[in-house]
Amino acid sequence: MPAEGEVLANTYPLPRLQLQHGRGCELWDTDGNNYLDFISGLGVCAFGHGDAVFARLAAQQMLQLAHGSNLFSSRPSLELGAALLAAAPFAHRVWLCSSGAESVEAALKFSRLLGRARGGPRKHVWVSFTGSFHGRTFGALAVTHTASYREPFEPGLPGVRFVPFNDLEAAAEAIDADVCGVLVEPVQGEGGVHLATPAFLQGLRALCDQRGAALICDEVQCGLGRTGRMFACEHAAVVPDILCLAKPLGGGLPIGATLLGRQVAELVQPGQHGSTFGGNPVACAVGTEVMRRLQVPSMLEQVQARGAALQAALRGLLGKTFVGWRGVGLMQALVLAPGTDQAAVVQAARHRGLLVSRGGKDAIRLLPPLICETAHIERAVHILAGL
């Protein structure tokens, strides 16, 4: 087996842990070491690993039709689109793609269509927020706040304004007649699990209505049950014009979706956007099963219950290493004491058999599978207590 650094581009710190297989909420590496997975593939594996139903559906679809390109339609893509529309009554149409960044790219383009329809070419500006992460493709990167991600590739796309997160007064100043879209994560994931307040989201909705801009909710990480609601914006009773989804939708397979409200959807014309792998039948077949599971009332009730249990347990860890917590549902963060080495804490947890990730600059992020049990939470907390 070649070394990773000999064959793959140097985009990640090496060496990385080499995983071999998983089952439920656990993973094993190539040396046979066992880990409790509280990363879930950065939110992708919401139903854990080694799901036999997902595997069967994918295999059946592979044998029937693996790919047809965007020149053709397929039953799995139509079934998934219908399932998404049923879960999101505000949406009029769905655009399917292969990733969260691709979903955001579509949102940027479609919001520009709305801007032109309402104000002509001058209505082209996007507003994003401090702490935001929307992806690493060029458009998504332009509206991502983290400077270290953007600066090596600047100059980026013009027409982006960054505003302090949860500062409605600053947003009101930034969202003027030139703004075509406002991008917000109801819960910032990469930024450290920061929650938008209901008043902030509701205020953004009102500002977008007043000034003719599209409200774009990026729920690539926080959507589809992660917070205990189907969509995180539901906590604030806010309806977006565009909603971006991805990570858990494919049950581990690459897929993304951009949900469009009627006023946006009716502007989209053939040829204005596309994706070769968008609506891939295999990913859509599994995605439809993901949506079926999420629509079972007890599923989201379980996430709420497990999230409350995890929050209560995290509060008991506060002391020398951890000084705070924040989050909702099964999207949580433990805030580190000032001066604590974030990377060292993540590594120490791994050595003890728990996989967690960084959250912003001051926390570790916990994204357990939605199917986690009380025993998994207790095991994770026991490990964290020893750090």
pLDDT average per 10 residues of sequence, the chain (387 residues): 88 90 98 98 98 99 96 97 98 98 99 97 98 98 96 95 99 99 98 99 99 99 99 99 99 99 98 96 99 97 98 96 98 98 98 98 98 98 97
What is the CB neighbour count within 10 angstroms for residue 160?
18
Q: What global pTM score does this model have?
A: 0.97
Q: Are 332 and 366 in contact (CB under 8 A)?
A: yes
Q: How many CA atoms lie within 13 A of 197 on its CB side?
A: 8
pLDDT reported for residue 365: 99
At 219, the amino acid letter reads: E
Q: What is the DSSP letter of 337?
A: P
What proportions of the chain, in percent to the nearest 5, are helix, strand and coil?
Answer: 40, 20, 40
* H and E: helices and strands count for the chain: 14, 17
| Identical topology for domains 4-51+298-386 and 53-295 | no
pLDDT reported for residue 126: 99
pLDDT reported for residue 2: 87
Fold of domain 4-51+298-386: Aspartate Aminotransferase, domain 1 (3.90.1150)
Structural domain spans, the chain: 4-51+298-386, 53-295
Q: Are 87 and 229 in contact (CB under 8 A)?
A: no
Residue 144: name the closest of 175, 165, 167 by CA.
Answer: 165
User: Alpha-carbon dihedral of residues 333, 238, 124, 271, nearest 10 degrees?
Assistant: 100
Fold of domain 53-295: Aspartate Aminotransferase; domain 2 (3.40.640)
Neighbour-count burial of 65, counting CB atoms closer than 10 A to its CB (0-12 exposed, 13-18 middle, 19+ buried): middle
> In 295-358, where does DSSP find H-type helix?
297-315, 342-351
pLDDT reported for residue 347: 97
Cα–Cα distance measured from residue 370 to residue 27, given in angstroms and rounded to the nearest whole number:
16
Cα–Cα distance measured from residue 165 to residue 191, given in angstroms and rounded to the nearest whole number:
11
